[in-house]
C-alpha cells in the first residue's frame, strides 16, 4: 500500500481488514483492478491494510493466477470447495478475523478510489458513536456512462429511511470491530444479505453514517437486471418486511416492501426508470 508519512516511534499501528470474495463468474481483469485498488490505498503509514480473500467455490485458471501473483499481499485466503454464496463466504472471513480495529467491504468488480480507506477512518475517528460508515458511489454502466448516487449522512434519518432505501451502499462500508461483537454474522438471506444485516444492526442500536463523497466506482453489469428476477425480488420483500416488523411491529411502513415488489416485478423498462430516479442528493 502507498503511504504518506513516516510514523514516529510513538505512533501505534492501526490494523484494518478488507473482506473480499471472488467466484468463478467474476471477470479476472476487474478482480485484479479491484484488489489493487485496495492494496494501493493512500493511507497514513500507521495504517496496515490486511486483505481477507474468500474464494467461493472452484475458479478458473485466470483468477487463480491473479491470486497466486498477489499472494504475498494477501493476509488470509479462505476457500470453499463448492459455491456457498456471499453471506456464507463473508461469515467465514468474519470468523477468521485477527486483531483489526476496522473492517472494509470490497467487491470483486468495483474500484475503490485511492483515498477511500483514509477518508472513512478519519470520519470514524471524529465520530466515536458511529459504528458503520459508507460512502457515496459512482455508478458505471456497461456503456461507460457514470453518475453519482448519494446516500444520507444523518444517523437519525438513516434509521427512519431504512424501510425503503439502504442506509449505506454495501460495497462501500467500513465496520468498527465492535459491530461483529453485537451482530456476529450476516443473516443467511441469499441475494439480500446486506439488507437483512442492516435491519439486524439497526435493531441492536448500531449507528450508520456516510462520508458524503463518491469514493467507490460501482459496476452496473449487463447481468445486473437479470439477477433481479422473481426469487431475488421475493427475497428482498421478505427481508424488508421482517426488518420493519422487528423495528416497528405492524406499521404503515410495511407498504414500502409491497410497492418495491410491484416495481421489481414490473416490465424491465419501468423498473430501470424507477431505479434511475434515485436522487443525487438526500431525499
**pLDDT tens digits for the chain (283 residues)?**
554 545 555 678 999 999 999 999 999 999 999 999 999 999 999 999 999 999 999 999 999 999 999 999 999 999 999 999 999 999 999 999 999 999 999 999 999 999 999 999 999 999 999 999 999 999 998 788 899 999 988 888 888 889 878 999 999 999 999 999 999 999 998 889 999 999 999 999 999 999 999 999 999 866 554 555 678 888 899 999 999 999 999 989 999 889 888 877 776 655 555 555 554 433 3
CATH for 1-109 is: 3.90.550.10
**Can you give the pLDDT at residue 259?**
86
Q: Which distant-in-sequence residues (6+ apart) come within 8 Å of 15 by Cβ?
A: 48, 50, 98, 99, 100, 101
* In the chain, ranges of CATH 3.90.550.10 domains: 1-109
DSSP 8-state class, residue 175: E
- The answer to whether 106 and 171 are in contact (CB under 8 A) is yes
**Can you give the pLDDT at residue 260?**
83
Mean of the per-residue pLDDT values for the chain?
89
For the chain, helix, strand, coil in percent to 5 are 40, 25, 40
Q: Are strands 208-219 and 146-149 parallel, antiparallel or unpaired?
A: unpaired
**Can you give the pLDDT at residue 153?**
84
Q: Which distant-in-sequence residues (6+ apart) come within 8 Å of 68 by Cβ?
A: none
**Can you give the pLDDT at residue 101?**
97
**Can you give the pLDDT at residue 270?**
52
**Can you give the pLDDT at residue 189?**
85
**Can you give the pLDDT at residue 223?**
59
**Rg of the chain over all Cα atoms, to the nearest angstrom:** 19
Q: Which of 191, 184, 155, 188 is nearest to 170 (CA)?
A: 191
Burial class (CB in 10 A: 0-12, 13-18, 19+), 252: exposed
Amino acid at each position: 500500500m502507498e503511504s504518506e508519512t513516516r510514523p514516529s516511534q510513538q505512533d501505534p499501528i492501526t490494523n484494518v481488514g478488507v473482506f473480499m470474495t471472488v467466484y468463478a463468474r467474476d471477470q479476472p481483469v476487474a478482480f485484479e483492478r479491484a484488489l489493487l485498488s485496495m492494496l494501493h490505498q493512500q493511507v497514513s503509514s500507521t495504517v496496515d491494510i490486511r486483505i481477507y480473500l474468500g474464494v467461493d467455490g472452484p475458479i478458473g485458471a485466470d483468477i487463480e493466477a491473479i491470486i497466486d501473483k498477489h499472494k504475498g499481499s494477501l493476509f488470509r485466503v479462505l476457500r470453499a470447495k463448492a459455491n456457498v454464496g456471499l453471506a456464507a463466504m463473508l461469515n467465514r472471513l468474519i470468523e477468521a478475523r485477527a486483531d483489526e480495529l476496522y473492517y472494509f467491504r470490497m467487491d470483486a468488480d468495483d474500484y475503490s478510489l485511492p483515498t477511500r480507506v483514509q477518508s472513512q477512518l478519519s470520519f470514524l475517528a471524529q465520530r466515536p458513536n458511529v459504528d458503520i460508515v459508507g460512502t457515496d458511489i459512482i455508478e458505471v454502466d456497461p456503456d461507460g456512462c457514470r453518475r453519482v448516487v448519494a446516500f444520507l449522512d444523518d444517523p437519525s434519518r438513516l434509521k427512519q429511511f431504512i424501510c425503503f432505501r439502504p442506509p449505506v451502499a454495501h460495497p462501500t462500508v467500513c465496520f468498527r470491530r465492535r459491530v461483529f461483537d453485537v451482530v456476529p454474522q450476516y443473516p443467511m438471506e441469499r441475494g439480500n444479505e446486506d439488507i437483512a444485516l442492516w435491519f439486524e444492526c439497526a435493531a441492536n442500536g448500531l449507528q450508520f453514517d456516510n462520508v458524503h463523497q463518491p469514493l467507490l466506482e460501482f459496476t452496473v453489469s449487463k447481468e445486473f437486471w437479470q439477477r433481479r428476477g422473481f426469487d431475488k425480488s421475493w427475497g428482498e420483500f421478505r427481508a424488508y418486511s421482517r426488518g420493519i416488523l422487528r423495528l416497528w411491529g405492524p406499521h404503515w411502513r410495511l407498504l414500502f416492501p409491497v410497492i418495491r415488489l410491484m416495481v421489481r416485478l414490473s416490465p424491465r423498462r419501468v423498473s430501470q426508470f424507477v431505479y434511475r430516479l434515485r436522487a443525487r442528493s438526500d431525499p
